[in-house]
Structure formats: structure tokens, C-alpha cells
Amino acid sequence: MSYQPSADRYKKMRYRRCGKSGIKLPEISLGLWHNFGHVDVMENFRQILHLAFDSGITHFDLANNYGPPPGSAETNFGKILKEDFAGYRDEMIISSKAGYTMWDGPYGDWGSKKYLVSSLDQSLKRMDLDYVDIFYHHRPDPETPLEETMAALDLIVRQGKALYAGISNYPAAEAEKAIGMLKKMGTPCLIHQPKYSMFVREPEQGLLDVLGNEGVGCIPFSPLAQGLLTNKYLHGIPEDSRAAKSTGFLQESQVTEEVINKIKQLNALAEQRGQTLAQMALAWLLKDERVTSVLIGASKPAQLADSLKALDNVDFSSDELQKIEAILG
């Protein structure tokens, strides 16, 4: 039987305006960083995408190198888009990025115009799309002039290969420069994607102020600190966790006794709020009106359903916020 989206999907989600733009994003967006590659089970991630759309998630976030292998998340997403979501493209915001290593040689990485334009062309072929809604430069390039990188984003938007430009992983001062350049070129920066969670607070050191002042949206990634802000680590490091494997961005050495103690205290507070720790961690990011949407991953539909329940309680008392600050120290 072919997929039919839930008729009341837009009643299930709240949407926030992205900076000063015309775009609204769902408070929770789905990222395809993990679990959508050729090494993963297609039927599983197909169900995740169905549940996301049925729940009012309209924003799907990809990048050239998502997989593994790199590129395979876009290929798989394009296949499901064609088979299950034909006719719904205009109800979706689809984003991609370039900035990390994608192919061999001097033109497959960083921030040159050559790399960004070529990479997006490849991404569009993989997803079988005419354009993406948002195209990001994935990380700052210390060696390419910022003007060249921003001119490439401007060109891509003028060519109609992306509707909006975004940046990711840019610290406050560099973000401010990039946003200013794009504004002068007539292609305003729509959104910034920083790493931000209860455990990673750098965006509070000026970046959120820049985005608020400039009218640029903010979509935090890794809101659960690679799984640390879940009940997975309450009793130490489980064997099947990312930290135990130490293969990815979370190393076993990061899960100290002090960190586990913080997790336990936060978990107790979440329980008082009628939430899991993960749900509270997502809600905590949404307390700031400068945050447009929170980007989550999911390894199975049940995990996505659980994360969506965060939206049932996004209000914090000043007492709760003080307790959280005291725990995080």
C-alpha cells in the first residue's frame, strides 16, 4: 500500500519564524547525519521519514558527506522522496551542506567556489532534485577568503539551485562577518547551524546575540550531546553506546564520573517535569526564542516519537532554570 500522510499533520506541530525571513520551521527538524546510509536498513529509515512527516516535521537536513558511505544518505533520501513523497515536495524544506572532505584532491573540501558549486551539483543529482531549500557552508575555511565562500553561496541562490543560504559551525565574529557579506550581496543569510546543548554552551558567548540582532534563524545540532543527555549513561557506559565504541565524536574519556553525576541530577529534574532527560534537553533549547528549530536524529521510529514528546512541555520556571544552571555549574 502506498504511503498516505496523516491528514492532521499540521495540527501536531508548532512552527517558528526563521529570523526575519518568510520561512517558518517546525520546532523539531529531522537530521539525516546517522542512520540513513547504505549500511542502514531502508525499511527502518523509511518508517522514520513517514512518522516525521505525519507529525508535522517539514524540514529534512542533509549534507554531502552523510552516510556512510558519504553521499548515501542523500541517495536514499532521494529514492524515498520519489517513491513515497511525490507530490509533497512543496510542503518540505530540504537542506544540504558542503565544507568537510567529500572527494580526493584539492577541490573536494573546505570553502572554495569550485568545491561548493560542484558539491551541490552532485547533491542535487543524488537526491534527483532541481533545487534545495537551504544550502549551507558546513564549516569556516581558514585559508579561503570569506568573500569567495559567501560569493559562492550568493551565486548558488541566484542560479536557483538553492532558495536560501546558511552557515554552520561559524563562531560569533566570523558569523557576523559572513552574515554582513551576504546581506551586501543581496542574498541574506537565512540560518545558522551551531553545535549547542546543555553540555555545549559556546553559542551563548555572543553567537545567539549576533543571530538575534541580524534576524538570522538558529538550528542547534547535537542537542543531546551525542546521547549523553539521555538516560543511556545514567549507570555508566553501556556496551552498545557511541562512547563505548569510541568510533565517533563521543569518546569514553568524556564520560567522567562528574558528567554522570550531572546526568543523574538533570534526570531527576526531568522526572519532576514529567519528562525524560532527552525531552527536557530538547525543550531547554527551545526556551530561547532565537532558536528556530532543534535538529534531532533518530535510529528508529520509537526514538523519534519519544523526542517529539518534548514539545508537550517547553515551559521552564525560573526556579527550574536556576536548578539546571547549578547542576551544569
Q: What is the CATH number of the domain that holds 103?
A: 3.20.20.100
pLDDT over threshold 70, residue 254: yes
Nearest-angstrom CA–CA distance, 42 and 97: 22
Residue 194 resides in a domain: yes
pLDDT tier for residue 234 given thresholds of 50, 70 and 90: confident
Residue 257 resides in a domain: no
Task: Say how far residue 86 (Cα) sits from the centre of its chain.
Answer: 24
Nearest-angstrom CA–CA distance, 283 and 246: 28
Residue 261 resides in a domain: no
Residue 47 resides in a domain: yes
Q: Which three cell numbers stand for residue 304?
A: 523519534
Comparing C-alpha atoms, which of 145, 193, 162, 137 is closest to residue 18?
A: 193
- Whole-number average pLDDT of the chain: 95
Q: What are phi and psi of 46, to 5 degrees?
A: -60, -45
Residue 111 resides in a domain: yes
The total of structural domains in the chain comes to 1
Residue 297 resides in a domain: yes
Please give the pLDDT value at position 245.
66
pLDDT tier for residue 255 given thresholds of 50, 70 and 90: confident
Domain, as residue range, for 153: 14-227+288-310
What's the mean pLDDT in 74-86?
A: 98
pLDDT over threshold 80, residue 14: yes
Please give the pLDDT value at position 247.
57
Nearest-angstrom CA–CA distance, 97 and 57: 20
Residue 292 resides in a domain: yes
Residue 275 resides in a domain: no
pLDDT tens by residue, 139-150: 999 999 999 999
Nearest-angstrom CA–CA distance, 291 and 208: 8
Nearest-angstrom CA–CA distance, 77 and 30: 12
Lowest-pLDDT range, 86-95, 250-259, 316-325? Answer: 250-259
pLDDT tens by residue, 261-319: 999 999 999 999 999 999 999 999 999 999 999 999 999 999 999 999 999 999 999 99
pLDDT over threshold 60, residue 196: yes
pLDDT over threshold 60, residue 244: yes
What's the mean pLDDT in 163-188?
A: 98
